């Protein structure tokens, strides 16, 4: 219940907060929607934002499906973005080659960052929750050092040099920042959804997510699945970072991600880890993120309200998620409301 109506409930509670602050919720949300969707400019920015949320949301959702809580999408995204920016600025080849190379660099960077956490979990049993949080700090401070020092490309600010024109994604609507990265993200989401459902590795990933023990008894190498999943998860976040560099910023700087990797956890939770659901969920958060400034400017409601709504959604969604974890641990049939051994769909001879 709470899960289904989480966003509505969060928006409703948001209204209450606005009222407490003596604002007008209708005007505030109106301005938010107007800003996010009311103009070609606003709408295209929202879609560009959706793109990043789709990739980062897929990253978190995919890990969830394997039973892994990847809090490290932020770090993976930043590392992937930096890798893409370096390749984009320093490798000079024709566009049909350079664009895929930048994407690959982003994916590899993110995959490497995910690999570290996956390896530590598979080899030493280190909780990926802890390691990915730590790796976020390492990524953040590490790239800050790199762009301030060895990789600095500008005298004015700590950032990498501007990437080649051949590494940039061009707007598909002139005058906007909406690039082919958006349809690409949709394609990746659909492909990932199908792959998870049908590919042998997707099957193994889901089995591990449901029960590592059953997976072991079925001959699945659980450590291999964990490592590969974390790499794929990191790669998806890294591609998101690459899109940000190639389509929007055209360079890497430390302000690239104001916590997008964390919002992506909310994206995945709201989507209930359904990879297709991530598209809708990412759009919702993109509208919030992109309309926040208009809301602040037009309705004089601080844009931090959006953070409150995000927080509430995470709260509602994770309440359910934790609930689900608990019922898993208690095992089937242990719930007193369960009709027990009796058939719901079928019986025996």
Partner 1 sequence: MSAALTPAVLRCQGITKRFGSVLANDGIDFDVRAGEIHALVGENGAGKSTLMNVLYGVLQPDEGTIEINGERVRFATCAHAMRAGIGMVFQHYLLVERFSVGQNVVLGREPSVRGFIDDGAAQAAVREIAARYRFAVDPAATVETLGVGARQQVELLRVLGRDPHIVILDEPTAALSPAETEGLFQVMDRLRSDGRAVIFITHKLKEVMRHSDRITVLRRGRVVATMDRAEADETQLASLMIGPQARAAQTSTPMTRESPVVLNVSGLRVTRDDGSLGVAGIDLSCRAGEIVGIAGVEGNGQMEFAEALYGIRPSAGGSVSLDGQDLTHASLSSRRRAGLRYISADRQREGLVLDFDAIENALLGDVRLSQRGSVVDVAFGRQRAAEIAERFRIEGYSSSTPMRRYSGGTQQKFLVGRETSGAPRAVIAFAPTRGVDVGAAFNIYERLRQVASAGACVVLISYDLDELRELADRIVVFHSGSIAGEVTPEHADDATLGRLMGSGAA
Question: Least distance from C-beta 200 to partner 1, angstroms?
Answer: 5
DSSP category for residue 161: P
- Please state the closest distance from residue 196 (CB atom) to partner 1, in A: 11
Nearer to partner 1, 22 or 349 (CB): 349
Supply the minimum distance, in Å, between the C-beta of residue 343 and partner 1: 5
Binding site for partner 1 (CB under 8 A): 198-204, 206-207, 210-211, 213-214, 216-221, 331-334, 336-337, 339-349
Nearer to partner 1, 69 or 203 (CB): 203
State the nearest-atom distance from the C-beta of 227 to partner 1, in Å: 17
> Using CA atoms, how far apart are residues 266 and 313, in angstroms rounded to an integer?
7
Q: How far is the CB of 318 from partner 1 (least distance, A)?
A: 20
Nearer to partner 1, 20 or 346 (CB): 346
Q: Which lies closer to partner 1 via its Cβ, residue 304 or residue 338?
A: 338
CB of 136 to partner 1, least distance (A): 31
- Which residues lie closer than 8 Å to 27 by C-beta, 6 or more apart? 298, 299
* Residue 94 or 217 with smaller CB distance to partner 1: 217
| CA separation for the pair 190, 6 (Å, rounded) | 24
For partner 1, which is the closer residue by CB, 175 or 347? 347
What are the structure tokens assigned to 91, written together?
């490798």
Report the C-alpha gap between 146 and 1 in whole angstroms.
47
Burial 26-36 (b: 16+ CB within 10 A, else e): eebbbbbebbb
Contacts of 177 by beta carbon, 8 Å cutoff, 6+ apart? 44, 45, 48, 171, 247, 248
Give CA–CA dist 293/45, Å, rounded.
12
Nearest CA-CA partner of 74 in 64, 66, 82, 85 = 82
């Amino acid at each position: 219940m709470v899960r289904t109506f989480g966003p509505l409930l969060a928006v409703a509670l948001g209204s209450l907060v606005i009222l407490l602050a003596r604002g007008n919720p209708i005007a505030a949300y109106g301005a938010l929607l107007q800003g996010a969707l009311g103009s070609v400019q606003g709408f295209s920015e929202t879609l560009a934002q959706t793109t990043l949320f789709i990739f980062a949301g897929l990253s978190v959702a995919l890990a969830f499906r394997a039973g892994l809580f990847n809090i490290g999408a932020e770090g993976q995204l930043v590392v992937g973005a930096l890798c893409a920016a370096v390749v984009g600025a320093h490798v000079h080849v024709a566009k049909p080659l350079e664009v895929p190379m930048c994407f690959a660099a982003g994916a590899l960077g993110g995959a490497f960052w995910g690999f570290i956490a996956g390896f530590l979990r598979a080899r030493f049993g280190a909780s990926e929750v802890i390691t990915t949080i730590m790796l976020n700090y390492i990524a953040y401070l590490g790239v800050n050092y790199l762009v301030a020092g060895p990789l600095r490309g500008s005298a004015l600010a700590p950032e990498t040099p501007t990437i080649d024109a051949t590494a940039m994604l061009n707007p598909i609507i002139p005058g906007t920042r909406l690039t082919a990265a958006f349809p690409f993200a949709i394609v990746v989401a659909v492909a990932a959804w199908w792959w998870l459902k049908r590919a042998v590795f997707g099957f193994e990933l889901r089995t591990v997510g449901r029960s590592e023990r059953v997976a072991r008894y079925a001959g699945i190498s659980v450590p291999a699945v964990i490592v590969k999943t974390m790499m794929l998860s990191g790669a998806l976040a890294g591609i998101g970072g690459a899109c940000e560099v190639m389509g929007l910023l055209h360079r890497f700087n430390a302000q690239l991600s104001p916590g997008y990797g964390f919002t992506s956890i909310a994206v995945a939770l709201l989507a209930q880890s359904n990879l297709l659901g991530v598209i809708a969920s990412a759009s919702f958060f993109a509208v919030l993120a992109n309309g926040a400034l208009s809301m602040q400017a037009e309705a004089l409601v601080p844009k931090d309200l959006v953070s409150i709504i995000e927080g509430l959604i995470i709260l509602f969604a994770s309440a359910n998620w934790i609930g689900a974890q608990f019922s898993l641990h208690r095992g089937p049939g242990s719930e007193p409301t369960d009709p027990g051994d009796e058939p719901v769909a079928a019986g025996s001879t």
